[in-house]
Amino acid sequence: MTLDYLSREDDLGKVYDSRIMRRLFRYARPYSGWLLLALLMAALMSASQILLPYLSKIGIDSYIVVKDRLLDLSPLSDDERTDFVGRYKDRLIAVSDIRYVIRDGVMDPADAVRLENLGAILSGNYYRLDLARYDEPVRSRLQSGLNSGLIEAIPAKVTDRYYVESTDLSHLPEDLKRLIRKPDRMGVRDIALVYLGILVISLGIMFFQVYVMAWVGQKIMFDIRLELFNHIQRLHIRFFNNQPTGRLVTRVTNDVNVLNEVFTSILVEMLKNLLMLAGIIIVMLKLAPRLALVTFCILPPMIAVTWFFKRKMRDAYREVRKKIALINATIAEHLSGIKIIQAFARETLHFQKFMDINRQAYVANMRELVTQSLFSPFVVFLENLGIALILYYGGGQVVQQSITLGTLVAFLSYLSMFFGPVRDIAEKFNIMQSAMASSERIFQIMDVEEEDSLDDHTRLISEGDLRGDIEFQEVWFAYNDEEWVLRDVSFSVKAGETIAFVGATGSGKTTIINLLTRFYTIQKGQILIDGRNIENYDRRFIRRKMAIVLQDVFLFAGDIRRNIRLNNQAITDETILKVANQVNAHKFIERLDCGYDHVVKEGGATLSQGQRQLLAFARALALDPSLLILDEATANIDSETESWIQKGLDTLLRNRTALVVAHRLSTIKKADKIVVLHKGLVCETGNHQTLLAKQGIYYKLYQLQFKKQEKGV
């Protein structure tokens, strides 16, 4: 396996984010109700957070700051005075015919500047003393202070309402100041309690939302991984010939894990942030339109930079995912061949190779980090720039009495809140780019057609039984283009017969087995089973009727019983014991710790080659197949072990069609028919004695390979 093979990725072409997102959301559809509930929780969270700065504004403007200003409109002409009073009649409180009190920050900036230049705005702020707000004992004491001159106040035309200049208020005795400001203290207390209540409710909502989204994310990730694994199992064998195992493992594990972020921290959070941004913009425009427009000046550069970094981040994340897959594929390959590496003392060479790959991954990650590092500080810079603009312009508005101090404080809070979602969207955008890169990889696998996707399942045979008649009629096959491995191959096997294939390496023996199991499709000719074209059978139906024993036996981690049963619960413990006895595997199994419950490690590393092949025989025969295929299954078994299984094979091959690729003379001699292959052609056909008498290719193979086995047969 070369580095090019490990690192090769198909061209992903143009990025279609919307198409990918639609495919991802298909997995979220079963949980749409929970997602809508989480979205509702997010909307409530946004509303509660937007409300908090507004509560601060109310507390400052209504209860904390002394904010009323006294106007003396005598510098204005009668018409100007009439016009001014008419425009602000709902916000003016008459103290006399020419004097009015107006709430700070409600005048138009142009009017405020004009009156300031005319000296119509008297210096100082005034506190409204409304005796109706107090209970009787406090009201009596305040009235006494007003009557005695202790409290200097300007009476309004409204009964029991006075205005006290803020500096005069500070000169009053502490107990009297506390009495005067008691309603304000109660108002601040109520605002604080509401603030605290909103925080507590928000905490509960946030917990519920995070829990629901985490649960939904895990369920969706579970579904995607399950579908991907099931899809990979159904892909054509040709696909696996071109895919490193480590890359596929990366798709099912790392890439699926990245998708979890889409649903746990992006889907609802992005909508929540968008709702918050919309709410903040509306509130800011309502509070101070001009100040809001100044703040929004920073949005165009933000959008431009985000658009610029979009493609660069996607490319960076793509490269990172590719290098992670390359590392996994390399590690999987090296661990699989660790014995060869150590046996040939190639540790240093392979270390250097891995170091190069690891360095590529480091460079890809640094590229991603640099790209992100350039983007995030720019967002922070724009936030600080916005604060500077608000302090400069908004501070001037407060001085000019165009807005209140509470409005400015609320604006600073809203600006911080405004950039919170902007920063979060930027971070989520980074995660989204990574998720899109992983999604492309996953859907690239998903889009590979399954091996039976082109079959017309309405016409396939998927029930019944097989007698076992097999016929190859002028079969041509090539793995690549027209590099023919089989050329015009024809032979037949009757039900219950055993046919053996012999020939030099590369003559096409194993290819015949691959075609019979429908791992590959022929280019010319046809293969018949029970007189029907093999393509008229459902692939899985044929494979359920076959049992295959290969030269390289693979055992799953688990126990002996599981490796014979292969999770087929229809195979009882009695059947397992029976077939183990028939292939003489029972003897060595009994000697193992825990017998049939003996723990089998990955690949059956603790068992000998012969023991693994005996288990493979038991596994195949437990299925009671119509067709039995032995692909050099006894090549690595010593003579003593071979003698254990011969009697069992003689019994089990009876009344079954068997195709045998073997190097053992004992197996070949007992075959009803022997097919001799040479360079993809059928050169000779017959039984052992007939072919020897011809003194052709089989005779030469017998002299070179089999004659030495004669004495042991």
Domain-embedded: residue 400: yes
In the block, tokens 């006399």 appear at 96
Higher pLDDT, residue 676 or 555: 676
pLDDT at 685: 92
Structure-token pair, residue 244 = 């490193």
| Domain coverage including residue 192 | 3-59+187-446
What is the average per-residue pLDDT within 110-117? 82
Strand-pair category, 532-533 with 524-529 = antiparallel
Residue/partner pairs of 3-9 with CB below 8 Å, 24 or more apart: 3/353, 3/357, 5/242, 5/244, 6/244, 6/246, 6/247, 6/326, 6/329, 6/330, 6/333, 7/322, 7/326, 9/322, 9/325
Convert the pLDDT of each residue in 531-551 to its tens digit: 999 988 888 888 888 888 887
| Cβ proximity of 328 and 239 under 8 Å | no
pLDDT at 651: 63
Structure-token pair, residue 11 = 């061209």
Integer angstrom CA distances of residue 192 from 54, 82, 199, 524: 12, 41, 10, 85
Could you tell me how far CA 76 lies from the centroid of its own chain?
A: 70
Domain-embedded: residue 55: yes
Residues in a beta bridge with 630:
549, 660
DSSP state of 115: H
| Cβ proximity of 56 and 187 under 8 Å | no
DSSP reduced 3-state for 474: strand
Q: Which residues of 357-373 are buried (b: 16+ CB within 10 A; e: fewer)?
A: beebbeebeebbeebbe
> How many angstroms separate the CA atoms of 61 and 404, rounded?
7
| Cβ proximity of 626 and 670 under 8 Å | no
| Tally of structural domains, the chain | 1
Residue 706 pLDDT exceeds 70: no
Higher pLDDT, residue 643 or 182: 182
pLDDT at 527: 93
- Helix (H) or strand (E) holding 70, with range, is strand 68-72
Domain-embedded: residue 418: yes
Residue 258 pLDDT exceeds 70: yes
Convert the pLDDT of each residue in 389-430 to its tens digit: 888 888 877 777 677 778 888 888 888 788 777 777 766 776
Structure-token pair, residue 74 = 């005598």
Structure-token pair, residue 273 = 């942030």
Mean pLDDT of the chain: 81
pLDDT at 478: 92
Residue 36 pLDDT exceeds 90: no
pLDDT at 411: 83
| Cβ proximity of 138 and 146 under 8 Å | no
Residue 44 pLDDT exceeds 80: yes
What is the average per-residue pLDDT within 601-623? 81
pTM: 0.67
What is the average per-residue pLDDT within 42-64? 85
Strand-pair category, 627-631 with 546-550 = parallel
Residue 105 pLDDT exceeds 70: no
pLDDT at 2: 44
DSSP-H helix ranges across 288-346: 289-295, 299-336, 338-343
Structure-token pair, residue 692 = 């020897």
Which range, 113-117, 339-343, 659-663, 691-695, is most confident? Answer: 691-695
Could you tell me how far CA 195 lies from the centroid of its own chain?
A: 37
In the block, tokens 């390289």 appear at 552
Domain-embedded: residue 86: no
Predicted confidence band at 452 (pLDDT cuts at 50, 70, 90)?
A: low
Convert the pLDDT of each residue in 173-184 to its tens digit: 888 888 888 888
Structure-token pair, residue 47 = 């509303």
Predicted confidence band at 635 (pLDDT cuts at 50, 70, 90)?
A: low
pLDDT at 524: 92
CA angle 495, 497, 499 (to 5 degrees): 125
What is the average per-residue pLDDT within 364-370? 83
Convert the pLDDT of each residue in 185-239 to its tens digit: 888 899 999 999 999 998 998 888 888 888 888 888 889 888 888 888 888 887 8
Convert the pLDDT of each residue in 137-163 to its tens digit: 888 888 888 888 778 888 888 788 888
pLDDT at 490: 93
> Beta strands of 166-209 (E only): which ranges?
none
Structure-token pair, residue 537 = 């059978």
Domain-embedded: residue 216: yes
Residue 489 pLDDT exceeds 90: yes
DSSP-H helix ranges across 518-660: 539-544, 560-565, 573-582, 586-591, 609-621, 639-653
> How many angstroms separate the CA atoms of 566 and 575, rounded?
13
Predicted confidence band at 472 (pLDDT cuts at 50, 70, 90)?
A: very high
> How many angstroms separate the CA atoms of 676 and 691, rounded?
9
Structure-token pair, residue 575 = 């059947």
Domain-embedded: residue 146: no
Convert the pLDDT of each residue in 582-592 to its tens digit: 888 888 888 88
Predicted confidence band at 97 (pLDDT cuts at 50, 70, 90)?
A: confident
| CATH number of the domain within which 12 lies | 1.20.1560.10
pLDDT at 5: 45
Minimal CA–CA distance to 503: which of 666, 617, 660? 660
Residue 21 pLDDT exceeds 50: yes
- High-pLDDT (> 90) share of the chain, %: 9
Domain-embedded: residue 365: yes
Higher pLDDT, residue 268 or 565: 565
Higher pLDDT, residue 432 or 235: 235
Residue 457 pLDDT exceeds 70: no
Of 101-110, 467-476, 478-487, which range is least confident?
101-110
Domain-embedded: residue 245: yes
pLDDT at 117: 85
What is the average per-residue pLDDT within 472-485? 89
Structure-token pair, residue 118 = 């005319």
> How many angstroms separate the CA atoms of 6 and 326, rounded?
6
